[in-house]
Structure formats: structure tokens, C-alpha cells
Chains A and B, each alone.
Chain A
Amino acid sequence: MKVLVAVKRVIDYNVKIRVKADNTGVETANVKMSMNPFDEIAVEEAIRMKEKGAATEVIAFSAGPAQCQETIRTALAMGADRGVLVQTDAELQPLAVAKLLKAVVDKEQPGLVIVGKQAIDDDSNQTGQMLAALLGWSQGTFANKLNVADGSVEVKREVDGGLENIKIKMPAVITTDLRLNEPRYASLPNIMKAKKKPIETLAPDALGVDVAPRLKTLKVEEPPKRKAGIKVKTVAELVDKLKNEAGVI
């Protein structure tokens, strides 16, 4: 069974982002970029499946500008076998990415697609569910634990009240939550090896996908700033402030 993972290039999670002065977006020039952390978990899960013999090949997919090659290389260094990059400088929204993924899935015929539950830049939490819909496949979202057996996947999901167990038919789309696994770091020899692994580059047109954005971003602004308050010295002072100043207890 092939497993396809999708990896997104995003601003590194440690970077304090800045809104552009003209309010058209967020400053990305000269900012450290990394793989979306939830996608690292997806890559790790796929590699573990291969190590256990449940998967035969792990394909890392990305979509975006040429620099997404680096993100795919990171997945290859972790242990993925080869990459597919749909290269475009156009703005890509979740529905468009799901359509690009579907086109690649139609070609590659994986048994599972594993993606991060959300990207930490646009925080949409849509692509995996949309892909499952377009393929007519089942979906195991917010996965905390996976068990692949006999043409189905048992998925433990992180939900509002705790955890939920479902069983879904394969082929399926999985979206990862934080506790699914702890992604490995790529070793230096594996980083070197990854440079020789193949990455196929495709264009959206060649896949017959219209990636035109459906949502128009009118403006991007700083959120209202919360002012730092005061430091109190004692518990008694805190309780007094909460009672008589804030009136919350």
C-alpha cells in the first residue's frame, strides 16, 4: 500500500509574525519557513507504517512555489521515498489544494492519505475533509491513534469531550492531531540521502485543476492589543482586586 502525505511550507511556528504595513497580508520576506508541524506528524505516521510493513511507499506531496521543494526534502530526509510538487506562485486556498491532491491521488492510487489537521498559517482545518469529500472516501480527522487492519482503519479521534473511536473503510483520508506521535529529527546521513531522492514537478494546468481563489482577502490587520495589567504582591491583594475592581468573583 502506498501512503501519500501532504506537507505545507509555512512560517516557522517560533516566528512572531508581522502584518504588512499596507494590510494586504503577513510579511513573509526574509522569514524562517518550515514544514507545518501537523504535517510533520503526518510524515512520521506514514514512515512508521512503512517501518512496520503496513506501507510499501511513502510519497510526500506539496503545492506552492519552487521553495516547497525544501519542505518535501525535509519529508524525504525523515524517511519518505519520493516527492510530488505541484508548482505554482498563485495563492492556494484549501479547496484548490484538495483538488490538486485529488488529481495526484487519482494517479498514484494510495491506500491512505495523511495530512495535518490544520496549517498554522491560515488555521483553516479544511483540506483533509475536502479531499475525502472529493474522493468519496471516508475521513478520520483529528487522529490521536491509528490502527490499520483488514482494509479498514481504527481511528481514535480527539473531540470536544475527550476521545472517540471510529472504524473507517480504506482508502481513507486521515488528519493528524498533536498526540498521534512525536516526529523524528532527520539524521545527517538521511539528509544527504534525501538529496538523491526524486521529486516530480507538475503544474496545476497539467492536472486540469483551476486553482483560482474563491475567498477574497479584503484586508489583514493586527488584532486589538491587550494591555499588560499590574503585578500584585500577595494573594490577599489579588482576591481584593478580583472582588472589588474586576468584580468577577
Chain B
Amino acid sequence: MGVLVVAAHDGKAVRANVANAVTAASQMDPDVTVLVAGSNCDDAAKSAASIAGVTKVLQADDAAYANWLAEDIAPLVVKLAPNYSHVVMAADSVGKNIAPRVAALLDVAQVSEAIQVVSPDTFVRPIYAGNAMATVQTADKIKIVTVRPTNFKAAAGGGSAAIEKIGGEGAKGLSSYVGAELSKSERPELTSAKIVVSGGRGLQSGENFKMLETLADKLGAGLGASRAAVDAGYVPNDYQVGQTGKVVAPDLYIAIGISGAIQHLAGMKDSKTIVAINKDEDAPIFQVADYGLVGDLFQLVPELTAAIEKK
């Protein structure tokens, strides 16, 4: 039957996490088809075809798919789904928006944010902000699964899957796209960065985040934040790492002025090496940190920035 991976993209290329979703999908069934829906999405379809392990790419070009509105994309996926045993999406803001709509239209359950494929019908997923791991089994004929990209290796490039063009379903007229206010940054994307520098309430202001930007740029790192820092308006919402924000698992995570609430730990505790800089030596962040540095961040961060050779 095979797996249908629904790929988000920016028109030019599929998102990096699609390669992770393909790896997860191939553990459910080696026959992996990727759906690229969009408007003039030839390049995105080609990028999907180049992911190793992809058997086939379905390209659905329709003006209605230009902005990935759930009301318009879901019917297309629902129409294709009966040809597959699984429909897989990365658990990002696109997958989380669309997959449950697809599942309900098919009258099947969804497995959210799987971190491990035990068998084609059994998955491990975190619950309670990752403080417990549930192994769940689905008996539904079509299995709808969102997967947490950081828990699956990205599939390599070099593939050359065939691209089949299929028609679109048009717009349902329920919703329309107005525009976006996207954070502009030259830094690596948070969820795929090798190093992440993250700041919390301890930074005390948005202005002080500049200090972390300097450090991040020297390390070639992505920049993140705790919920407290986002709520306080220091940085935009897309910086948030945690249970309800982004989940990251870089080689190095540097938590600065972050106390380490369980909701934050849920988003970063799979990082390979964790460094914490905090003035409170009892802060919970030190319980997960490999290297802790107790002291005033306003003194230590510039010192650290100076000590690191520019890459």
C-alpha cells in the first residue's frame, strides 16, 4: 500500500524536515510517495524527488494550494489517502494544522508527534510535555501520523524519483490567505541548527538579546527563547522552544538565563550537549545540563563570546 508523506514547502524546495519524515515513513513501509501540493511548485517537487528513499512524487499544482490553507489541502489528501496505508506529516505548524482535519474527514484517529516507529501500527509518543512516553497502537485502516523530525535522521539526497502531475481540487472558499509577518534571519533555522543559543527571562529585555545574537553568530548557531522571554515580548513567538513551541535537538544547546521549567525542558532535553548559564545555582536547568556555569550572565556571555574563535 505504501506511505503518503505530505510535504510542506516554500515553492522552491520542500522543508528540510520532509527528509526526516521520509525516514520515519520508510520505517512504516519502504514504498514512500511524497505529495507536493502548491502553486507553480515544479522546483519543490524536484527537491522532493531528490530525497533518497522516495519512490514517487505526486505534484498537485493548483492556485488554491498556494498558501497551504487546511480547508483546501485536506480534501486533496483525503482523496489520495485510500491508496495508502499511512499518511505522514512532520509535526510542525503545517502538519499540526492539516493532519487532524484529514484524520477526522477519514474518520480515523491520529497519532501525534511520534518519536519512534515500533511497527507499522505501533508508535511511541511523548505525553505530559515528554514526562511520560506512551506506546500506542492503531487499528485504523489508514493511519495518520505526525512525526517529530528531530527524532528521525534526515534521509540523504541523491534520489531521482519519478514526478507524476495530478490535478487539484480547487478552493473551497472557506478561508483566504492575507499575508505573513515572518521573522527575517540569516541564522540557521532553529529546528535544524547544529548549535542553538537560547535566552530566558534572565535577559531582562529584548535589547539584551543582542548579546546572544553576537554569541550565536560567532558559533553559527540558531537563536531560541523560553516562553517567559516570548511572553515578555523580548523576541517573536517563533523563537519559543518547549512543549508548545518548537522541539530542538542540536549537538549543543546553550541555555542562558533560563530557569528550566518542565515545559521548556520538553523542547530541548534531547540535545546532545547542554550548557546552562544561570545565576541561581538551584535552577532546574542544571539538572539536565552537562556543563553548568553559575554566575551573572551579563558578565559571562560577553566573556564566552570573546573566548570562542569565529568560525
The interface of chain A, by Cβ under 8 A from chain B, is: 11, 13, 16-17, 19, 26, 38, 93-95, 98, 117-118, 120-134, 137-139, 141-142, 144, 154, 157-169, 177-179, 214-223, 226, 228-232, 234-236, 238-239, 241-242, 246, 248-249
A-B contact pairs, 9 of them (CB 8 A): A38-B244, A121-B127, A161-B180, A162-B183, A166-B175, A166-B178, A219-B135, A220-B135, A226-B274
Contact check: which of A129, A137, A162 meets B100 at CB < 8 Å? A129
A158 touches B93 (CB 8 A): yes
- Cα A162 to Cα B307 with chains together (Å): 32
| Given known A-B contacts A160-B246, A229-B289, A241-B291, A248 and B273 have beta carbons under 8 A apart | yes
Stretch binding the partner chain, chosen from B23-31, B47-55, B58-66, B103-111: B103-111
* Residues of chain B at interface, number, CB under 8 A: 88
Chain B hits for A248, CB < 8 A: 195, 251-252, 272-273
The interface of chain B, by Cβ under 8 A from chain A, is: 67, 69-71, 74, 92-94, 96-105, 107-113, 122, 126-140, 173-183, 191, 195, 219, 227, 230-231, 236-238, 243-244, 246, 251-252, 262-263, 269, 272-275, 281, 286-294, 300, 303-304, 307-308
B183 touches A161 (CB 8 A): yes
Contact check: which of A26, A139, A178, A221 meets B101 at CB < 8 Å? A139
Chain B hits for A236, CB < 8 A: 307
Chain B hits for A17, CB < 8 A: 128, 131-132
B291 touches A169 (CB 8 A): no
Chain B hits for A139, CB < 8 A: 70-71, 97, 101, 175
B292 touches A215 (CB 8 A): no
- Cα A241 to Cα B292 with chains together (Å): 11
Chain A hits for B195, CB < 8 A: 248-249
B70 touches A126 (CB 8 A): no
